[in-house]
Amino acid sequence: MAEYCYDIKMARTSSGGSEVRMYYSTVARSGLASSDALIEDQFIPGRVNQPGVIELDLWGSGRTRGPREPGNGMAVFENSDGGLDAFKGYALDSGFYTVQRTLASNPSTADTTVIFNGLMERCEVTEESVNIYLRDQIHRYNKAALPTRYAGTNALPAGIEGTPEDLGGKSKPAALGICLNVTPAFVNTSRLIYQLDGQQGFLTGWSLVVYDARTVLTEDGAGDYTSQADMETNAPTAGQYRVWPAGGCFRLGSAPTGQITCDITNPAIAGGSTGLTPAASTSCEVHAILGRLAYLSGLTAPQIISYLAVNPQCGIYLTGEVTYLQAMNELMQGVSAGWYLNPGSDSDILVRELEDPASETSVQDFTDENIISFKPLVSADSDRGIPVWRVVVRYGKNYTLQNASELSGASQADVAFTGQEYRTVVAADSAIKTQWPRSPEVVIDSLISAEADAQNEADRLLALYDQLRDQYAMEVPTSIVTTRHLGSFVTVTYARFGLYAGKKFMVIGKKYNFERDTVVLTLWG
């Protein structure tokens, strides 16, 4: 039988800020199964006792919706001789950590499979071992999404950086997609200048509606400003406004009578991700916005591979101390989709919504002969796996709540809209309660813009949750798992739990134990 080992490629940061690559394995030898030509003849120390115990999930352990929780794990290296004591001073945080399963006797790129491509957080050096704490790649998005802040340096009436008393030190906002009734930053109180996006400005295809106490203001016919100086020098006509697109700003021609709010559409593709599969029909679709967030985080060429049946138009307005991870989760949980980075890439983001496995194509069969262990799990969703009778999807987010007394002259529809944060659609089947009298309901907060798209999502989720669903933890040898992707579909034939005739499941999680050379797949269906 061919002997396989696990090779580790990892990187630390030197005192000068450069990347220093390091290579270890479970088997000491020369040459590493890698396309990295610089290390083909390098001696690889066999110091890896445990390449890692790493858990990855589409949402969170045992869940089928909600925010994507970062995966965690730990690797153990041999250090009884003190050979790795230097690790105590290494800067490992955010350095990459790649696990490859390699044919030990004759290593080559063709016999190498990338199992895990993640990040390190820190290490713990002891007399016997070096324990490295691991994170999956989505940790790279757990950083400030609004890094540009107001300097607070206005020398009124000049400037658009606010003053130390109002905006100094606060994050500049950003708008992606369709955002309704947002409150802009008041960046110059003397010249009545407001800013909606100080991180990227308005992108090609933008549109704007400005309200004063929900009365629509007229755009000045003089055209857009060409620069900040142009905007500061030339006031609009009284009662109107003009826009400086590059700065994400607009200026009023006279003092407002009430609160200034805006509807802003800022397309997501321009200057960002164009590697969208399938191609976006509009640049406000959910996977286009996800690509834009990845691009703004520093990923130069993000590729979004979406398995959403429908990509509804959405929008998110970012303010305050929000992280990219929080923004991505708010966007994706509204369409009940999980997301993760391709194990063999640091730029390919895969998006997968929950789907009924019965109607999908299975990529692999598992039977008693190759299953090490198989046990039922209790769902970690709020409904605990009990059939659901009603799904509520909240959509059309209103970013500024206003009451009727603030909206003199506003229509009843406007008063109703601004008085609540979301609109609501419902999909229900009361007949479910006949068999399941305590059947719960599911409520989803989304960033979906249109009622029809929200209704489609509610109907889709009810069809998935209105019947009894099972979850199982299935442990199998790593060597036989032909797909590394979460969200794939497999068929299980097992002598217990009514599975003797075979049943399809969706893989919603996996936990690698490289020391045992096994993986536990979390199955739903």
DSSP code string of 318-384: E-SS-BHHHHHHHHHHTTTEEEEE-TT-SSEEEEEE---GGGS--SEEE-TTT-SEEEEE---STTT
Give the global pTM. 0.90
Lowest-pLDDT range of 165-169, 244-248, 373-377, 481-485: 481-485
| % pLDDT > 70, the chain | 94
**Mean pLDDT score, 364-388:** 93
Give how far Cα 30 sits from Cα of 20, 27, 33, 43, 98, Å: 19, 10, 10, 4, 18
Spatial distance between the Cα atoms of 256 and 233, rounded to a whole number of angstroms: 20
Give 246's pLDDT tier (boundaries 50, 70, 90).
very high
Look at strands 373-377 and 423-428 and give their pairing: unpaired
Q: Residue 308's pLDDT is what? A: 87
Q: Is the pLDDT of residue 66 over 60?
A: yes
Q: Residue 38's pLDDT is what? A: 41
Helices and strands (H and E) in the chain: how many:
6, 32
pLDDT tens figures, 8-29 = 889 999 988 898 889 898 888 7
Which helix (H) or strand (E) is 178 found in, with range? strand 174-182
Give 280's pLDDT tier (boundaries 50, 70, 90).
confident
Higher pLDDT, 381 or 277: 381
Q: Residue 516's pLDDT is what? A: 85
- Alpha helices (H) in 406-503, listed in sequence order: 412-418, 432-435, 451-465
Spatial distance between the Cα atoms of 489 and 354, rounded to a whole number of angstroms: 11
Highest mean pLDDT among 244-248, 352-356, 383-387: 244-248
Q: Residue 429's pLDDT is what? A: 97
Q: Residue 83's pLDDT is what? A: 94
**Mean pLDDT score, 382-397:** 95
In the block, which residue shows the tokens 């029809």?
452
Beta-carbon contacts of 347 under 8 Å, excluding residues fewer than 6 positions away, are 299, 300, 301, 302, 303, 341
Largest CA distance in the chain: 84
Q: Is the pLDDT of residue 359 over 70?
A: yes
Spatial distance between the Cα atoms of 488 and 523, rounded to a whole number of angstroms: 10
Beta-carbon contacts of 180 under 8 Å, excluding residues fewer than 6 positions away, are 263, 315, 396, 397, 398, 399, 449
Q: Is the pLDDT of residue 133 over 90?
A: yes
Helix, strand, coil percentages in the chain from 3-state DSSP, rounded to 5: 15, 40, 45
Give 1's pLDDT tier (boundaries 50, 70, 90).
very low
Spatial distance between the Cα atoms of 21 and 149, rounded to a whole number of angstroms: 34
Q: Is the pLDDT of residue 33 over 60?
A: no
Q: How many CB atoms lie within 10 A of CB 317?
A: 26
Give 126's pLDDT tier (boundaries 50, 70, 90).
very high
Q: Residue 2's pLDDT is what? A: 53
Closest to 513 (Cα-Cα) out of 53, 137, 89, 83: 53
Integer-rounded Cα Rg, in Å, for the chain is: 27
Q: Residue 111's pLDDT is what? A: 64
Higher pLDDT, 85 or 71: 85
* φ, ψ (nearest 5 deg) of residue 412: -60, -35
Higher pLDDT, 327 or 408: 327
Mean pLDDT of the chain: 90
